Amino acid sequence: MLTIRNLMVFYENALAINDLSLKVKEGEIVGVIGSNSAGKSTLLNTIAGLTLDLKIKERRKGGERITIMGRIDYMGENITDLLAVHRVRKGIILCRERHPIFPESDVMENLRIAAYLRSKSHLKRMVAYIFELFPALKDYRKKRAGFLSGGEQQMLAIGMALVAGPKLLLLDEPLLGLSPAMQTRLVSAIKDIRKSQGVTIIISEQFARPVLPIIDRGYIIENGMLVLSGTGRELMENPEVKSAYFGV
């Protein structure tokens, strides 16, 4: 489904992604594991097209602050130079870290906004699924999103990504700052999304322990470079991974 070859991303003189290659097969859950500032968000932003959009905006201002090299293929098509809006139409949906919601709008309004490219029947079907997946959101459907807890906002952010109609769902640190109980709930939801909706998922996290049991394969990156890859079980049993990401 997705193939990245020799991707490099520069912010002025800083190298954010360094000659990174990876593959994602249709129907997989793939993990991208790394510490803070390892390049995880830059990778997902680049797959989604946001880094390209930012590069174009910088160029319009007369600067060349961002450089993108390498190639990204999605469903057999080269999308390296495809704008983010067109990637969304093709089903590449990014759920960014730290709850990207509209705080002044209620839960249902947030879901409607996120479904602006999709039909009313799609929205109705997905809202029913989201409320089944996250029952708390159904109870708060008329509540302003800004008054939801951190975990509830993360549920809403994932719900907004789902109503956008993903074929490839990019989850950027969805467990960040959540309680262990809420992390467990979201990990279970991610498994259900793949199983019931047939969505391929890339999930980036620096806290690997909850994620590794549910991924098919994982890539560990440091300083923008791929340093290790393997199945979830292989990475869980790797002593270096345990030391770096489990604290043991």
Instruction: Look at residues 154, 197, 23, 161 and name the one whose alpha carbon lies nearest to residue 88.
Output: 161
- Residues 136-156 have pLDDT tens digits of 899 999 999 999 998 899 999
> What is the structure's pLDDT at 195?
93
pTM to 2 decimal places: 0.92
* Amino acid, res. 1: M
Distances in whole angstroms, Cα of residue 26 to Cα of each of 62, 76, 94, 118, 192:
40, 12, 17, 22, 16
- Residues 53-68 have pLDDT tens digits of 999 888 777 766 899 9
Q: How confident is the model at residue 206 (pLDDT cuts 50, 70, 90)?
A: confident
Distances in whole angstroms, Cα of residue 105 to Cα of each of 111, 136, 212:
10, 17, 35
| Six-digit token string for 153 | 């906002």
| pLDDT higher than threshold 90 for residue 102 | yes
Q: How many percent of the chain have pLDDT more than 90?
A: 72
Q: How confident is the model at residue 247 (pLDDT cuts 50, 70, 90)?
A: low
Backbone dihedral angles phi then psi of residue 63, each to the nearest 5 degrees: -115, 165
Tell me the Cα Rg of the chain. 18
* Amino acid, res. 209: R
> For 227-236, what is the mean pLDDT?
90
User: What ranges make up the beta strands (E) of the chain?
Assistant: 2-11, 14-24, 29-33, 66-74, 77-78, 92-95, 168-172, 200-205, 217-222, 225-231
| pLDDT higher than threshold 70 for residue 211 | yes
> What is the structure's pLDDT at 177?
83
| pLDDT higher than threshold 80 for residue 248 | no
Residue 168 · residue 200 · CB < 8 Å: yes
Least confident window among 60-64, 102-106, 121-125, 187-191: 60-64
Residue 126 · residue 166 · CB < 8 Å: no
Q: How confident is the model at residue 246 (pLDDT cuts 50, 70, 90)?
A: low
DSSP assignment of 69-126, as one string?
Answer: EEEEEETTEE-TT--HHHHHHTTEEEE-SS----TTSBHHHHHHHHTTTS-HHHHHHH
* Amino acid, res. 239: P
**Average pLDDT along the chain:** 91
